[in-house]
Structure 1
Amino acid sequence: MTLHTGAANDRARSYRRVNIRLRWKRFFATTAPGELGLYTYRAHYMAMIGFGIFGVAHLIEVLPIYAQQQHMLQGWYVLFLVALAVLTGLTLFYGLRHSVSPWVFVAYTTVVAAAIIALPLAWTGESMPQNPWISGFIILAVGAAAVLWSARAALLYMFMLEAVYAVIATHVVSVNASAESWFGAGLARMLFGSVLVMILTFGKRGVERLDSNYADALARTLAMHRNRSETADQERIDRLIHDNVMAALLDASRSQGALSRQTRQFASRALDVLSEESSRATGSHTVMVHVLMDELMDALAPWRTRVRFTNLRAPMRPVGEPRVFVPGYVAHGLTQAVTEAVSNSARHSGSEVTTVSMEGELCAPTRINPEGFYLRFTISDDGRGFNYHDIPGRRLGVRVSIMENIEAIGGSVDLDTALGRGTKLTLLWPRDAAA
């Protein structure tokens, strides 16, 4: 029992790791290349929607201020306003498409910082009736930094930006005495920005915990299901052995003289059960294909609400001919790989549906499968996809549980995925079949 529990805990631990940090490799990637947890991903695109809405509202508020100050700033300075308007629109667009695009926030923080640094170069020398229009975008830039980075980095960005703006507002740009002082306005912005950073930080930590708990619960459900399946198999075998052996012994105790025919039949059944268990242990056990289908359906029970089966049909010989069998280790490997693929889709894709299909046909006999048929499984989703080469080395699901597992039983794996266009995984057994 101790070994059984330990195995279940090892399986649970192997499924717990889920990326909850926003990572990206290509600047203009339309989705985050690093795999995000389901709730983390949703929180990021909802943050983009909220940022876009507030950005549009602030642009509407800034336009009258810009109209008053356009003669006091060089004409080229309007490019910063246009860039911020475009980035705000892209943020709202990507958010409504449920696409996490960190490059927009990076560009936004960069443009705001560049606009403040360029303010002395754009000023024409005429006194301004109020603070420059760019100062209002500091809060939005701080919010973008809080979504992108840690709280410490976002606060450091805000203090540096406010320090640069304070130097410019007091020593370079001239503002009317009736305008709000830079000290009061800057202090209010820093106070509001600090509160915004804290709110976003606590929100990110909350969804990270949700993702970790979800992955942990999913892992424990899968481990418990596998443990229950193994226990049920063992109990079934024990029951068969017990019933047949006890029946044979009871019948033998009642027999007078030579053993009866019924006793020999009971004993033969018990030996058959023992032989079947021995074949399972040595790897010579075989499973009918339709039984493999039933085992697959049972293994995918934890995801019954998300899995859609498009094609599950057992091959493949006409009625009256021998049934099609696969080796037991092959059936176990295929079931484990399909289960792992569905588990990965549930935890990382961001899609609510995973499609699973199984098909098989007769083919020329192969070295791996002399019976002459092949099986093909397809697991697909329309989630955010990923770059296989960007998967951290500690993540063994795709490399070990799927690819190495299928290759070890004589199959092949075809992975078709890219950022932003979902994932399609095709498992073929045997790999030398002319499918």
Structure 2
Amino acid sequence: MQRRYISLVAAGVALGTTIALTGCGNTAGSDGVNLRLVAADYGNGAENSSQKYWDELADAFEAGNPGITVDVEVHSWKDVDRKVAEMVAEGNAPDIAQIGAYADYAEQDRLYPVDELVKIPTQANFLPELSEAGQTERVQYGLPFAASTRLLFFNEELFTDAGIEPPQDWSQLRAAAERLKARGVKYPFALPLGSEESQAEAMIWMLSGGGGYRDRNGGSYEIDSERNIGTFTWLRDKLVGPGLTGPVAPGKLDRAQAFEAFTRGEVGMLSGHPTLMQRAEEKGIEVGMVPMPGVDGEARASMGVADWMMAFRQNGHRREIGRFLDFAYSDENVLEFSDRYDILPVTVSASEAMAADDEHKRLWKFLEALPTSELYPSGEVSWAKVSASVKRNIGDAVAPKGDPAAVLTRIANDAAKAESEADRR
């Protein structure tokens, strides 16, 4: 079939792997339906762009579902959320979007609930913690698409040269950073609190310090809690102040910069996810991984991240969208995507298959951390504004003359305002 390319990334090279054809069925009554899918790019160049995955998946789906075509548009993570928002604002919503957040669209009644889209076995197969995170007002609108957890990455060669072991608590982490600095390591501990994804780095450290964005029952925001203030005070005084975080101020250091420095062998330690593991190993870096240390031992929880699939009501293609999603979430297709991008599967059956297969051993530590991980409060309409406030402000908390309490209170006030606005809608 000749695919109609409408994305920013061409996909003209045939792939060596085959997307599963299982789950295809008769589509009587669906003649002439064209679905538009807008998705994020998990690749780092044309050779491994997500466009290739989606086009191959679409071709396999169309082969078993005559009368339904799927056009795919892939954008970088920097652009995809904005692109979808613009489409919706222009009255040209895609049928399916695979992006970072769904709650605003659900609150505006623009999305189909998941139970109106996919078959019961598909919905029941999502990992429970991810299904819950996909809910707004106890109704699931977000289908988890890809997941990852965070571990403490360390450069094994640098650690061996410095004669240090992986840290198990904060005092050991600081001592390791001091040894690395003494050995001339550029970034003993890379702390990216710049605007790119500082909401993630902040949450990792909040959890490490026994706190978090919300209380432990998932209730109100507790951003300026004593635990969180203590965490950022420790970072300011024990890591940043003594120069253990490198030459770039944490508030100016983005995650992409930190990751690139790690792949160059310039970073001793940082919080990392599966994709970084792959990139670092490709550059010859021996990567060690341990759970994130807490104040007095292992952190109470790791941070988990999920990206979301959602279906817009605008074009009325509920049945056809559901058929495509049932197909996309088959074990074979979920595992195929996970394999290509070192991403964790979001379904129970695919997770069990990964855990039982030695070919996936490199991801087992991340997989083990997922059931007890904590995710962003992505089901809250307020979260987008809270996240934006964290990105703007959190770097100031660890600056040499920063005031963690004042900065966290500023973010907490923004969170309260965002919640109040959401309640008034």
- For Structure 1 versus Structure 2, the TM-score category normalised by the shorter chain is under 0.3
Q: Which has the higher contact order (CA 8 A, sep 6+)?
A: 2
Give the alignment's TM-score, normalised by structure 1: 0.20
The alignment's TM-score, normalised by the length of structure 2, stands at: 0.20
Q: Between Structure 1 and Structure 2, which shows a larger proportion of helix residues?
A: 1
Q: Which has the larger radius of gyration?
A: 1
